[in-house]
Amino acid sequence: MTDTNPSEMFSGTKDVADSHKFDEAKLAAWMEANVEGYKGPLTVRQFKGGQSNPTYQLITPTKKYVMRRKPPGKLLPSAHAVDREYRVIAALYPLGFPVAKPYGLCEDDSVTGTMFYIMDMVEGRILWDATLPDYTPAQRSAIYDAKISTFAALHNVDWKKAGLEGFGKEGDYIARQIHRWTKQYQMSETTKIPEMDKLIEWLPKNIPAGEITTIVHGDYRIDNMVLHPTEPRVLAVLDWELSTLGDPLADFTYHLMSWVMPSSDPQRPSISGVVQNPSYGIPNKETYVARYCELTGRDSIPNLDYFFAYNAFRLAGILQGIVGRVRDGTASNAAAAQNEGRVAPLAQFAYACAQRAGMEG
């Protein structure tokens, strides 16, 4: 995968980290037996990125593959479920949805020490800066249309026909998410944030009616996809670790947060500052929402402010959980202060959205 990020922080490969090494001869033997068309010898590199599941580039004389595996060591029971990632990719690939071709899942820990799966290495562009500074307005517009068209196609998949029964619970997705992140937030609370307490009370009572169930990606953004080297076409959507069955509007509006919130990550500039300029080429929020509605057969999304409140609340709960793990000594301290500093602004943003959605007080 090539990359247009000026920083080398996430792109490219490196020697396999000592903590992520395994017996490469055993892997080569497994691939010989299980991966159609495999011919060694095998060279193993590790991708640099910040993935929670170690990701490797497997190089042979004629082809490159990608391996995702569970990290070694003691893990939370539901975390790092590479078998779930493999299941959704294997369900989507035969439908023509752009994912890497899956070659096999290995649940036998004796091969590499942890469960893993193998997929095709898709060559193309990964764009780290969503503002697309190196492109013309027409190119930006085409890339964003490819992005939203692919996202809508995911939400339009008939998940039952795709064989994804039981991949997640059907219905009440937002209610379950609010409950989950409320619990996490309260267990991890380090500072009293009045806005969070008000949201905890208001959000579950005001969930918009008419929720449907689709496959949701969970973290759909421009750097989680591989674009064709020259065309505005998505070749593969990556990073399915948060995928489940859920509410497509929750998934879409989480993606839409980039249009309304400044980024706190210097590696990923926000598009909120450029979308107000019609000549820049990236569609504004109204145009992008209208395109999503057109592609998914909706008239409109009347509850955007509720969804923005919900998504910012969920993100605040996730970040507070990291802060809590640092407090309890179960996470590294590096980003703790930064994450703690992001919780209150997120809560305030969510509270302002909730007020626009009808919350009083």
Which CATH number do you get for residue 81?
3.30.200.20
Range of 146's domain?
A: 126-356
Q: Is there a single domain that holds both residue 24 and residue 142? A: no
The per-residue pLDDT string of the chain (361 residues; one tens digit each, 9 = 90 and over) reads 444 443 444 568 999 989 899 999 999 999 999 999 999 999 999 998 756 788 999 999 999 999 999 888 765 555 568 999 999 999 999 999 999 999 999 999 999 999 999 999 999 999 999 999 999 999 999 999 999 999 999 999 999 999 999 999 999 999 999 999 999 999 988 889 999 999 999 999 999 999 999 999 999 999 999 999 999 999 999 999 889 999 999 999 999 999 998 776 666 678 998 998 999 999 999 999 999 999 999 999 999 999 999 999 999 998 898 888 777 766 555 666 677 888 999 999 999 999 999 998 6
What pTM does this model have? 0.91
Q: 148 and 290 in one domain?
A: yes
Pair 48, 155 in one domain = no
Among 123, 139, 160, the domain boundary falls at 123
Query: Could you give the 3-state DSSP secondary structure of residue 317?
Result: helix
Q: Peptide bond before 41: cis, by omega within 30 degrees of 0?
A: yes
Residue 361 lies in a domain: no
Percent composition of the chain: helix, strand, coil (DSSP 3-state, to 5): 45, 10, 45
Q: Are residues 48 and 65 in the same domain?
A: yes
User: Residue 209: what residue type?
Assistant: A
Which domain-ending residue is among 123, 143, 172?
123
Q: Give yes or no: residues 195 and 158 share one domain.
A: yes
Q: How many domains does the chain have?
A: 2
Nearest Cα to 173, choosing from 221, 202, 217, 214?
214
Same domain for 234 and 165, yes or no, is: yes
Do 147 and 238 share a domain, yes or no? yes
- Shared domain for 119 and 210, answered yes or no, is no
Same domain? For 49 and 183 the reply is no
> Are 155 and 283 part of one and the same domain?
yes
